[in-house]
Structure 1
Amino acid sequence: MRADEVLKAGTTPLTAPPYTRIRRRFTDREYFTVVYRTDPDALRHAVPEPLQVRDDLVRFEVMHMGDVPGFGPYTECGQALPVVFDGEHGEYLHAMYLNSFAGTAAGREGSAYPKGLGEPALRVEGGALIGTLDIGSLRTAVATMAYKYEPLDLEEAKAQITLPTFMVKIVAGYGKRPQVCDLVRTRITDITVHEAWSGPARLQLFEHVMAPLADLPVRAVVAASHVRTDLTLEPVHPVHDYLEEIS
């Protein structure tokens, strides 16, 4: 295999890379989001400098991808935390769990999404929208919302989804020091919102050492939404280099 063929593969295994390096359009993507108040000290502990915690809210979300080039349908679940960086309000992606290895590998390697494997699910049952997360055989999250209870303004839904997003990108080095350790930023700008709903909701988080969502405990549910969209994720770009800070 020639050197140019190695570079073209983009990731390993070279003869069967798990994903292709293309810009993907997500169609028929569903967001089920529950915003809740949590312990302020726990929130500050979870957010890395130089990001600053904006308030005591957490956005728990389950997302079902109806069709993604190279991946097919899959579901993911995670938490986003409200932050401020250099005067700009946004969200820090704390953790994400997917039932797609290709989506997990591409999100971690190609960008900086904090993805791990899990079994999230999104369904409608008994008049309720239900989002769950299982890690192995254990249930770690259950969210419920009255299904299509009250229309949500489409522009408001769009504003919720298109907040700037911050993540930490770490590429391991050959010794103890990483090759890359950056705070990165991205934002969704190419989006169509097809429908959006709000309604009463409940959220339960259960302790799991490999998915510590419950470290940010639920104090009170503030809002919930169910949104269906098409969108494209923008590439990430670095905004802070941790290696320069400690060198």
Structure 2
Amino acid sequence: MKEVDVAGHIATPLMNPAYAPVVPRFTNREYLNIVYRTDADALRAVVPEPLEIDEPLVRFEVMRMGDVTGYGPYSESGQAIQVRYEGERGEYLHAMYLDNFQATASGREAGAYPKTIGSPGLYVDSGVLVGVLDYGTLRVAAATMGYKHHPMEAEEAKAQITVPTYLLKLVPGFGDVPQVAQLVRTEITDVVVKEAWTGPARLQLFEHVLAPLADLPVREIVSASHILTDLTLAPAKPVHDYLRTEAGGSR
């Protein structure tokens, strides 16, 4: 292979990349969202500046991907923290756990998503929508919501999914110098809400050293939603470069 051709490949391994060169389209992407109040000090310890916190609110999510171009069906779970950046309210993606390696590698490399391997699940059990997350053989999260108790307006559901989202793009260099350290922003705009429901919910988080969701403890359930969508993810754009800030000697 000629030198000029190497940069045209998207990822390693060179001849068999870990993920397909596609913009994934999600069909029947199903959400269980539970927004809860946690400890403000716990949030301040994990939310990076220049993001700011108003209310100490976290959204625990479990998503079942019915079909995804390039990846097929899989499940995902994680935590998103309500934040503000330059006056704009949005969410900071704190942690994501998937049962699909290709989607995990793509999300980390091609995007800035904080993805790692886990075993999420979303299913109905005796009139209850159940969302769980296991890490290895241990349960680290269990959520329950009354199954389709009250319809939710499609526009309200769409607003939950299309909120501006902030992520950290961290790429290590060689030695002790990072190659990339950026705060990036994305926002889903291509979305169709097929169904949306709300109802009573509960959430339990269990302590685990490598899946520390319980470091943001549940103090009060604020709201819950169950949403079925078709959507396409939007590209992320840098909004803050930590390496340039460091080079400039100020924050």
**TM-score w.r.t. length of structure 2:** 0.96
CA offset digits 1:178-217 (Å, max 9, x no partner): 1110000000001100000000000000001111000000
* Distance (whole Å) between structure 2 residues aligned to residue 204 and residue 150 of structure 1: 23
Gaps of 5+ in 1: none
Counterpart for residue 7 of structure 1:
7
Counterpart for residue 106 of structure 1:
106
* Distance (whole Å) between structure 2 residues aligned to residue 140 and residue 98 of structure 1: 14
Counterpart for residue 32 of structure 1:
32
Counterpart for residue 193 of structure 2:
193
Whether 2:130 is the aligned partner of 1:130: answer yes
Offset, 1:128: 0.5
* Distance (whole Å) between structure 2 residues aligned to residue 22 and residue 62 of structure 1: 23
Counterpart for residue 184 of structure 1:
184
Offset, 1:244: 1.1
Counterpart for residue 143 of structure 1:
143
Counterpart for residue 203 of structure 1:
203
What is the number of equivalent residue pairs in this alignment? 247
Counterpart for residue 236 of structure 1:
236
Offset, 1:4: 4.8
Counterpart for residue 65 of structure 2:
65
Counterpart for residue 216 of structure 1:
216
Identical pairs, percent: 61
Q: Helix, strand or coil: the match of 2:28?
A: strand
Offset, 1:3: 3.3
- What letter is aligned with 1:111? G
Offset, 1:74: 0.4
RMSD between superposed Cα atoms in Å: 0.9
* Distance (whole Å) between structure 2 residues aligned to residue 21 and residue 214 of structure 1: 35
Q: Helix, strand or coil: the match of 2:107?
A: helix
- What letter is aligned with 2:21? R
* Distance (whole Å) between structure 2 residues aligned to residue 224 and residue 155 of structure 1: 15
* Distance (whole Å) between structure 1 residues aligned to residue 4 and residue 139 of structure 2: 45
Counterpart for residue 153 of structure 2:
153
